């Protein structure tokens, strides 16, 4: 029965009184939010059960997206949207004198991810469900997600993310679906009737408890599952004899030792550290996930020999690579298949996405660590390596260097990317340039050996969250002009182009952006106490803080602009508000120093009466999905200024364009494809090309010191870092200064500086022509359809997973 306003009101009141045994008007907003969330989840359960029943027939191949991170953000608004009941609920609540938006704001972000990789996983879940593709997520239910960032006296302070403090209404604990994961111990081989069998003894046992969250498709009755695993000790395991011996503490410690596995998300992205706990996390969720998938598959009558025809395992970067030897272990030790057959099934089941070429992000584990923690898994990796290296020897006799760099085990390390390439049937990059670099440079030897494994899948974003839900006014304009086809088929956004001749549409675009900017200005005032003018250009740089993303380049140009304003306070320029947001990894000193620099510039500039109406600098605290939604829709300018070749794809670039911002970009990652879509007239490109960057690496003839000495403007801003202008402590920004000069500016900040300034001057000029500016924004919106993750997922489905939708969709 379709839900009406009346039914909803009745259901909601009932749910509330059942949960809290009191009247609705006696409840707090948190209680109302929780009642609403629980009700919405209930509304999805019928479809959830029915979808699961369909999957039981095994008619449809299912894909499991294994990822250490799922950065979901809030779920209430999107669930209502996808169930098609947002307007009904809003109206029903209004009649009860409750504002839906207030309840939506109560929800804690589900922040189980660092950045791009985790958010991509979340967008993919939404697209798989919305396209009716049988696809589920498998990951870790961290007790503490990505830390909350507070800015205190200009510096980042990390605070634990206690997202589970108030109940998570979306998840269901599935006690009956627990799995056992084994660590440590010893493995012995015995010959049983001519077959070598492996026995694992003396291991430690960890109970893996799944928590399931429904992933609701857009108005299609499909509900897939995100299954996150939590580590618990087995109570029965409690050794009471130790209690009698007075070793109570040891047992308690063992409990917390076990539970520490799913305690916390590692906050490093793009920098790998060989921490034992991280290796445990990886094996923990991969082993639990695979065991439960295979158990379920067999229960539904699936034949183990046909596993690869019915199930795809996708690994999101190398973090879940142990899925390869773990699947081998299950097939050989438990299902008693022969090696060759098991290997064939494994390779054909697993596919792998690479998300970064940064060498320091490549995972490798010390051999003795893997051996001790996962003795049987190590044996299997060794055997895979042995067989694979013998193939390499046949093909490249005598080429020792090549073979050792391609080997899975070398220099006493297990190289996870190598294992992922060898043990999967598909390796993909996340944007065209990135894939080309993988094929021709980073993974060139592998590409030569396995030319057919490599392919590109340019990233995408779910337009349901990033446009329809987070920018309702723009969505309304689009519906008014091009109808609502674009909701199911975002490629139809291109029809918006023809409306850009219409002055009223241009005016509406302007007004919508202005309104979004006003809302953000309010938020900035609330959070930071700083007044910003919505008539100024909102120039936004939000993403993880990292040297390669070059927040410093942005800082230097603001410092330069400030210098020019000091020289000439009447400088003719459109006022700008520079908005930054992003977290630094806690151990990444330079990134933290960059945050301090942004805040120091903000402090100086925002309090200088000479320039205060021309420029403002804001560093928003605690950048996260829910804040991104508010910032991105209000942006005029999107800063995508990574050193060319370093940003695998970027995805915020797509979100900004879809919300009608103009991109200032280097020709890096998906920026190139955005440029190709909108053409050079509708994007502002600057900086070194990838060939130029690669050439610098080859010839080693870059000298930032020469640039510094020959360019007085650059010299001046660099000197400002250490001359006391931004801090009485002249050493405060010394490390940034040194990285740019003494360490020869690894990311070519100085080289791109002048070109970047010119690009920004073009922005200034363009913005003065209001109509032209809005038309360009409109063109960007019109061409953003291809960057919907629906397009990406269709490609994965067709070209990698071979999965079919439950029904025919557009």
The catalytic residue positions are 355, 543-544, 549, 651, 655
Q: How many helices (DSSP H) and strands (DSSP E) are in the chain?
A: 34, 25
Closer Cβ to ligand 26W, 360 or 719, answer by number:
360
Q: Residue 264 Cβ, how far from ligand 26W at the closest point, in Å?
A: 14
Pairing of strands 413-415, 364-366: antiparallel
Report how far residue 697's alpha carbon sits from residue 704's, in angstroms, rounded to the nearest whole number. Answer: 14
Q: Residue 339 Cβ, how far from ligand 26W at the closest point, in Å?
A: 30
Is residue 67 within 8 A of residue 119, CB to CB? The reply is no
Helix (H) or strand (E) holding 309: helix 307-310
Q: Residue 164 Cβ, how far from ligand 26W at the closest point, in Å?
A: 23
Report how far residue 376's alpha carbon sits from residue 198's, in angstroms, rounded to the nearest whole number. Answer: 8
Give the phi and the psi of residue 23 in degrees, each rounded to 5: -75, 150
Closer Cβ to ligand 26W, 282 or 596, answer by number:
282
In sequence order, which residues have a C-beta less than 8 Å from that of residue 280 and are 6 or more positions away?
183, 261, 373
Closer Cβ to ligand 26W, 27 or 669, answer by number:
669
Report how far residue 106's alpha carbon sits from residue 74's, in angstroms, rounded to the nearest whole number. Answer: 10
Which is nearest to 664 in space by CA: 644, 678, 685? 685
Which is nearest to 654 in space by CA: 803, 502, 463? 463
Give the phi and the psi of residue 180 in degrees, each rounded to 5: -110, 130
Report how far residue 346's alpha carbon sits from residue 331's, in angstroms, rounded to the nearest whole number. Answer: 9
Closer Cβ to ligand 26W, 270 or 351, answer by number:
270
Closer Cβ to ligand 26W, 258 or 628, answer by number:
628
Report how far residue 16's alpha carbon sits from residue 664's, in angstroms, rounded to the nearest whole number. Answer: 49
Pairing of strands 148-152, 155-159: antiparallel
Which alpha helices (H) appear in 21-115, and where do they start and end? 29-56, 76-83, 86-95, 100-106
Q: Residue 317 Cβ, how far from ligand 26W at the closest point, in Å?
A: 5
Q: Residue 94 Cβ, how far from ligand 26W at the closest point, in Å?
A: 39
Q: What does DSSP assign to residue 646?
A: T
Token match 């019928």: residue? 46
Closer Cβ to ligand 26W, 640 or 727, answer by number:
640
Is residue 77 within 8 A of residue 469, CB to CB? The reply is yes
Q: How far is CA 689 from CA 347, 692, 693, in A?
A: 37, 5, 6
Report how far residue 316's alpha carbon sits from residue 635's, in angstroms, rounded to the nearest whole number. Answer: 30
Report how far residue 317's alpha carbon sits from residue 319's, in angstroms, rounded to the nearest whole number. Answer: 6
Q: Residue 407 Cβ, how far from ligand 26W at the closest point, in Å?
A: 20
Closer Cβ to ligand 26W, 120 or 389, answer by number:
120
Q: Residue 671 Cβ, how far from ligand 26W at the closest point, in Å?
A: 10
Closer Cβ to ligand 26W, 78 or 317, answer by number:
317
501 backbone φψ class: left, alpha, beta (φ>0; ψ -120 to 50): alpha
DSSP 116-148: HHHHHHHHHHHHHHHTT--EEEEEE--SB-SPE
Is residue 37 within 8 A of residue 286, CB to CB? The reply is no
Q: Residue 512 Cβ, how far from ligand 26W at the closest point, in Å?
A: 27
Closest-CB residue for ligand 26W?
116
Q: Residue 394 Cβ, how far from ligand 26W at the closest point, in Å?
A: 33
Which is nearest to 23 in space by CA: 688, 31, 672? 31
Closer Cβ to ligand 26W, 289 or 650, answer by number:
650
Closer Cβ to ligand 26W, 437 or 615, answer by number:
437
Q: Residue 587 Cβ, how far from ligand 26W at the closest point, in Å?
A: 12
722 token code pair: 């250490």
Closer Cβ to ligand 26W, 116 or 325, answer by number:
116
Report how far residue 402's alpha carbon sits from residue 423's, in angstroms, rounded to the nearest whole number. Answer: 19
Is residue 303 within 8 A of residue 394, CB to CB? The reply is no
Token match 């070598």: residue? 196
Report how far residue 667's alpha carbon sits from residue 627's, in angstroms, rounded to the nearest whole number. Answer: 27
649 backbone φψ class: left, alpha, beta (φ>0; ψ -120 to 50): alpha
Q: Residue 760 Cβ, how far from ligand 26W at the closest point, in Å?
A: 23
Which residues sit at the interface with ligand 26W, rule CB under 6 A? 114-117, 120, 268-272, 317, 355-356, 361, 363, 430, 459, 647-651, 669
Give the phi and the psi of residue 683 in degrees, each rounded to 5: -150, 155
Q: Residue 505 Cβ, how far from ligand 26W at the closest point, in Å?
A: 31
- 158: helix, coil or strand? strand
Which is nearest to 490 in space by CA: 677, 669, 624, 675? 677
Helix (H) or strand (E) holding 541: strand 537-542
End-to-end Cα spacing for the chain: 25
Closer Cβ to ligand 26W, 599 or 659, answer by number:
659
Classify the C-alpha dihedral 224-63-784-753 as positive or negative. Answer: positive
Q: Residue 362 Cβ, how far from ligand 26W at the closest point, in Å?
A: 8
Closer Cβ to ligand 26W, 651 or 774, answer by number:
651
**CA neighbours closer than 13 Å in the CB half-sphere of residue 724:** 1
Q: For the purposes of burial, counting CB atoms within 10 Å of the CB of 256, is it exposed (0-12), middle (13-18) or buried (19 or more)? A: exposed
């Amino acid at each position: 029965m379709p839900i009406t306003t009346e039914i909803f009101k009745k259901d909601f009141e009932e749910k509330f009184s059942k949960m809290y045994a009191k009247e609705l008007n006696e409840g707090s907003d948190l209680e109302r939010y929780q009642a609403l969330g629980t009700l919405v989840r209930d509304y999805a359960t019928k479809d959830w059960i029915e979808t699961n029943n369909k999957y039981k027939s095994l008619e449809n191949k299912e894909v499991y997206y294994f990822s250490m991170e799922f950065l979901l953000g809030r779920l209430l608004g999107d669930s209502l949207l996808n169930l098609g009941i947002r307007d009904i609920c809003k109206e029903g609540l209004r009649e009860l004198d409750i504002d839906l938006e207030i309840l939506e704001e109560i929800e804690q972000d589900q922040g189980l991810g660092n950045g791009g990789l985790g958010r991509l996983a979340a967008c993919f879940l939404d697209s798989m469900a919305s396209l009716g593709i049988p696809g589920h997520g498998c990951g870790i239910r961290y007790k503490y997600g990505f830390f909350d960032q507070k800015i205190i006296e200009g510096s980042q302070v990390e605070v634990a993310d206690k997202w589970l403090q108030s109940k998570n209404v979306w998840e269901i604990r599935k006690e009956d679906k627990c799995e056992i994961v084994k660590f440590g111990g010893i493995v012995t081989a015995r010959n049983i009737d001519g077959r070598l069998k492996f026995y694992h003894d003396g291991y430690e046992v960890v109970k893996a408890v799944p928590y399931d969250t429904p992933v609701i498709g857009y108005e299609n009755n499909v509900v897939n599952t995100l299954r996150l695993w939590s580590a618990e000790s087995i109570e029965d395991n409690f050794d009471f004899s130790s209690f009698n011996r007075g070793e109570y503490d040891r047992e308690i410690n063992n409990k917390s030792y076990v539970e520490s596995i799913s305690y916390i998300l590692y906050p490093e992205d793009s920098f790998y550290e060989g921490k034992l706990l991280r290796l445990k996390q990886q094996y923990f969720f991969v082993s639990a996930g695979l065991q439960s998938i295979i158990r379920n598959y067999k229960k539904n009558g699936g034949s183990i020999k046909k596993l690869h025809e019915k199930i795809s395992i996708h690994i999101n970067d190398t973090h879940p690579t142990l899925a390869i030897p773990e699947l081998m272990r299950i097939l050989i030790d438990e299902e008693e298949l022969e090696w060759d057959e098991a290997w064939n099934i494994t390779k054909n089941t697993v596919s792998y996405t690479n998300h970064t070429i940064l060498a320091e992000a490549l995972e490798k584990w010390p051999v003795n660590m893997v051996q001790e923690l996962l003795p049987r898994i190590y044996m299997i990796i060794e055997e895979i390596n042995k067989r694979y290296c013998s193939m390499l020897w046949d093909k490249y006799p005598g080429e020792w260097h090549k073979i050792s760099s391609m080997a899975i085990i070398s220099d006493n390390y297990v190289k996870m990317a190598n294992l992922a390439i060898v043990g999967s049937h598909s390796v993909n990059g996340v944007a065209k340039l990135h894939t080309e670099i993988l094929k021709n440079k980073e993974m060139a030897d592998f590409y030569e050996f396995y030319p057919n494994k490599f392919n590109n899948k340019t990233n995408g974003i779910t337009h349901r969250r990033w446009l329809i839900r987070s920018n309702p006014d723009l969505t309304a304009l689009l519906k008014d002009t091009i109808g609502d086809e674009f909701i199911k088929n975002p490629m139809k956004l291109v029809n918006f182009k023809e409306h850009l001749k219409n002055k009223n549409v241009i005016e509406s675009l302007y007004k919508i952006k202005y309104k979004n900017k006003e809302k953000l200005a309010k938020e900035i005032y609330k959070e930071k106490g700083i007044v910003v003018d919505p008539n100024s250009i909102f120039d936004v740089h939000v993403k993880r803080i990292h040297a390669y993303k070059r927040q410093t380049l942005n800082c230097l140009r603001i410092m330069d602009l400030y210098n020019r304003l000091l020289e000439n306070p009447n400088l003719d320029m459109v006022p700008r508000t520079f908005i930054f947001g992003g977290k630094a990894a806690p151990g990444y000193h330079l990134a933290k120093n960059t945050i301090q620099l942004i805040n120091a510039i903000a402090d100086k500039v925002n309090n200088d009466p000479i320039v205060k109406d021309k420029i403002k600098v804001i560093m928003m605290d605690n950048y996260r999905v829910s804040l991104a939604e508010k910032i991105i829709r209000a942006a005029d300018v999107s800063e995508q200024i990574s050193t060319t070749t370093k940003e695998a794809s970027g995805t915020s670039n797509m979100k900004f364009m879809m919300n009608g911002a103009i991109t200032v970009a280097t020709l890096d990652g998906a920026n190139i494809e955005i440029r190709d879509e909108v053409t050079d007239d509708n994007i502002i490109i600057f900086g070194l090309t990838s060939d130029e960057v690669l050439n610098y690496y080859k010839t080693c003839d870059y000298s930032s010191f020469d640039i510094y000495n020959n360019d007085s403007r650059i010299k001046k801003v660099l000197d400002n870092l250490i001359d006391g202008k931004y801090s009485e402590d002249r050493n405060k920004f010394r490390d940034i200064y040194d990285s740019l000069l003494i360490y020869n500016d690894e990311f070519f900040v100085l080289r791109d500086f002048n070109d970047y300034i010119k690009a920004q001057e073009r922005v200034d000029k363009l913005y003065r022509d209001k109509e032209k500016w809005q038309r360009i924004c409109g063109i960007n919106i019109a061409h953003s359809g291809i960057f919907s993750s629906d397009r990406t997922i269709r490609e994965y489905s067709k070209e990698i997973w071979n999965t079919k939708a439950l029904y025919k969709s557009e």
